Chains A and B, each alone.
Chain A
Amino acid sequence: MQEPVVADTKTSNRELLDFVFAWPAWFFAVGGALNGLLVAAFVVVILMLMFGLQFLGYSHPVYWGFLIVNFVFWIGVSHAGIMVSAILRLTQAEWRRPVTRAAEVLTIFSLLTAVQFPLIHSGRPWRTMYWTFPYDWNRGAWPNPRSPLVWDPSAIFTYLTSTILFVYVALLPDLALARDRAPNPVSRAIYGVLAMGFRGTTRQWRIQTVAGLLLSAIILPIFVSVHSIVSWDFAVTSVPGWHNTIFAPYFVIGAVHSGVSAVVTVMIVMRYAFGLKRFITRDHIDSLARLLIVVATVWLFFFLLDFFFGLYGTEPAEVDTWQRRLVEPPWVVIAITFIICAYIIPVPMWMFRAIRRNFFWMFVTTILVNVGMWLERYMVVVPALERKSGLTFTYGDYAPSLSEFILVAASFALVILGFLTFSKLLPIMPAADIKEGQILADRIRVGRANVPAAMRE
């Protein structure tokens, strides 16, 4: 970060808590619209439970469609949130301060949304409990721990629990702030209970600092494991196009690419929707865009490795899958669109400082990345299953149904609604962290230049 945020404590408190204690009309309008989408999705799920998975358009051999694509996509988005936060905390990057909370909250709601999709996709969500957890002693129904469908829930549960606790620990000082500034006794009491009597003693601040570093260090390996295990849902099968050793790092870096982009999108929306112009500056998106250039390029490298090694073995089934993905219609159109959206347009644009510091262009390019990354997951999942193989005699064509589009739209609604609700109830910016930055910030003279400086403990 180049320029520190400058505001006195009262102004910072007011601006950071403004949205928490206010009830703007647009909140109800947006919330209502998002809830409408969720109701539509709920109806689709009920109908699916009544009529079975064929209601969504699934038939042999393509049983993994939009639902699993969406699962992988939201798991991916959830990743960069915590990665950005944890890495910036560990490296004590000054510009992390306004970024971390939003990134962590995005992780929570993306994960919560992601886990809905395998449940829906199972067709009988209540049964997934005993496929996953060894609890059905009476009937002797135990999960098969050799399956990634058991590893997956354990990784996601670990990640979700860790992220929620991580956010809660970091929230304690801000809950105390909300308690002190609450406009009525009821909210004061609720924030008071949640803050657990946090008073901001030297000891409590010291523990907060150490806890931030410790939890960041523990959560990073969890973050890597989750998307690796999601990739193994595919890679440990014998399906050509999926059975690939590079899948774990390829999925992880793809997750970081789409997730960091989502963090930028969310920050730009927050800047205008929540009136946080003083706290989210051009320096922040500039820094994230520089990170994105590296991440996107590494992701492209892994994609190309997946492609080259797929072809290099000249195994007919593998070559056939890649031919379907990249040459045959309609996949060729999707392939071109995804590579253009995820790399060819945004990365060259981010090379220019003027674009990196422009909120409009950063908003557009990061949205494009996520359009591209969603299509990338679609391209990974479906064409590999569509391939005709020996000893299979029924082939149905897969085309996404209206119901699936509704479920995908509802997943976006769920994440946005969750994020919005959190921001309405709790400070979405780490107030204490931002104020600490103000205390430690100063300007020093270097020759004839007057430059910003920050002290670090």
Chain B
Amino acid sequence: MAMQSQAKRELLALYEEPDQAADAVERLHSAGFDDNDIEILSSTPYPEGAFGEGHTKHRLFAFPFAGAACGMAVGIAWIVGAQVSLPIITGGKPIVAVPAIIQILYEGTLLGAVLFTVLGVLFESRLPDGVGLYDDRISEGYIGISVMARERRLPDAQIALEEASPIDLLSKEGSLMHAPGTT
């Protein structure tokens, strides 16, 4: 029982207008939830801070540099290895040709930078992601506010989300909002 109360559950509220979504985030902050508990889902990139969320910290800028270093090392190993393994002897010229090294080194460095950047995009975007709550209506322009809360804090989260007038409120089990005319 104690374990169950420690487990986090997710709620997802859908809002029609960005102002409503920003209002919901503000209410969640007031209720004691921080940015690590809240996720804002939209089909469009909104300017950072549009919903009152904090600055997104990431290390994507480090990935191309790491990739470039690896790519350069592989490029040099490949091209020098190929030349040393089968020496092509041409009068007075060194076995390991510098122009060839520069070419392959250049391409290897940039290819490594691109590959690592793409890996960095996946890592920093937390992809692949198959566990978070989602609703197709988000791609129609609705804004989703998702909250991860422990069982005992779930009612607080639900109240904060409902006060901002969502069109729907979802949990893993389905909609928590009653359709008009039902009890």
Contacts and interface: CB of A to CB of B under 8 A. Distances in A.
A196 to B, nearest CB: 4
* Chain B interface size, under 10 / 10 to 19 / 20 to 34 / 35 or more: 35 or more
Interface string A145-164: 11000110011011001100
A29 interface: no
A435 B56 contact: no
A180 B139 contact: yes
Contacts of A144: 88
A214 interface: yes
Given A215-B117, A218-B113, A208 B139 contact: no
Contact of B82 (A10, A142, A161): A142
A134 B140 contact: no
A197 B46 contact: no
Contacts of B111: 157-158, 161-162
Contacts of A219: 114
A318 B21 CA distance: 71
Contacts of A382: none
* Chain A interface size, under 10 / 10 to 19 / 20 to 34 / 35 or more: 35 or more
A134 B43 contact: no
B85 interface: yes
A145 B96 CA distance: 9
B100 interface: yes
A142 B85 contact: yes
A32 interface: no
B97 A435 contact: no
B107 A154 contact: yes
B162 interface: no
A166 to B, nearest CB: 8
Contacts of A154: 103-104, 107-108
A134 B78 contact: yes
A214 B118 CA distance: 10
A145 B141 contact: no
A155 B107 contact: yes
Contact of A207 (B51, B58, B141): B58
Contacts of A200: 41-44, 138-139
A11 B39 CA distance: 26
Interface in B56-86: 56, 58, 60-61, 64, 78-79, 81-83, 85-86
A207 B121 contact: yes
Given A158-B111, A202-B39, A203-B56, A145 B45 contact: no
Contacts of A255: none
A98 to B, nearest CB: 15
A6 interface: no
Interface string B135-179: 010111100100000000000000000000000000000000000
A218 B79 CA distance: 22
A198 interface: yes
Contact of A134 (B64, B85, B127): B85
A141 to B, nearest CB: 8
Interface in A168-223: 168-169, 172-173, 176-177, 180-181, 196-211, 214-215, 218-219, 221-222
B132 A197 contact: yes
Given A140-B86, A197-B132, A201-B41, A165 B115 contact: yes
A65 B113 CA distance: 36
A145 B100 contact: yes
Q: Which of A157, A161, A207, A435 has the largest number of chain B CB atoms within 10 A?
A: A207
Interface string B80-110: 0111011010000000010110011011101
B167 to A, nearest CB: 14
A218 B58 contact: no
A428 B58 CA distance: 29
Q: Which of B85, B99, B100 has the largest number of chain A CB atoms within 10 A?
A: B100
Contact of A180 (B100, B117, B136): B136
Interface in A103-125: none
A200 B106 CA distance: 35
A92 B47 CA distance: 14
A196 B139 contact: no
B64 A214 contact: yes
A5 B79 CA distance: 50
A222 B108 CA distance: 10
Contacts of B118: 165, 168-169, 211, 215
B130 interface: yes
Contacts of B110: 158, 162, 218, 221-222, 225
Contacts of B140: 9-10, 13
A35 B127 CA distance: 37
A248 to B, nearest CB: 12
A451 interface: no
Nearest to A150: B100
B134 A203 contact: no
B125 interface: yes
Interface in A22-75: none
Contacts of B81: 134
A49 to B, nearest CB: 28
A102 to B, nearest CB: 20
B125 to A, nearest CB: 5
A440 B18 CA distance: 13
Contact of B60 (A9, A145, A210): A210
A200 B132 CA distance: 11
B130 to A, nearest CB: 5
A8 B51 CA distance: 20
Given A209-B45, A218-B114, A439-B44, A196 B127 contact: yes
B100 A214 contact: no
B23 interface: no
21 contacts: A10-B140, A134-B85, A142-B86, A145-B83, A145-B100, A146-B99, A146-B100, A154-B108, A165-B114, A173-B43, A200-B42, A200-B44, A200-B139, A202-B56, A210-B58, A211-B121, A218-B64, A218-B110, A435-B44, A435-B141, A439-B46
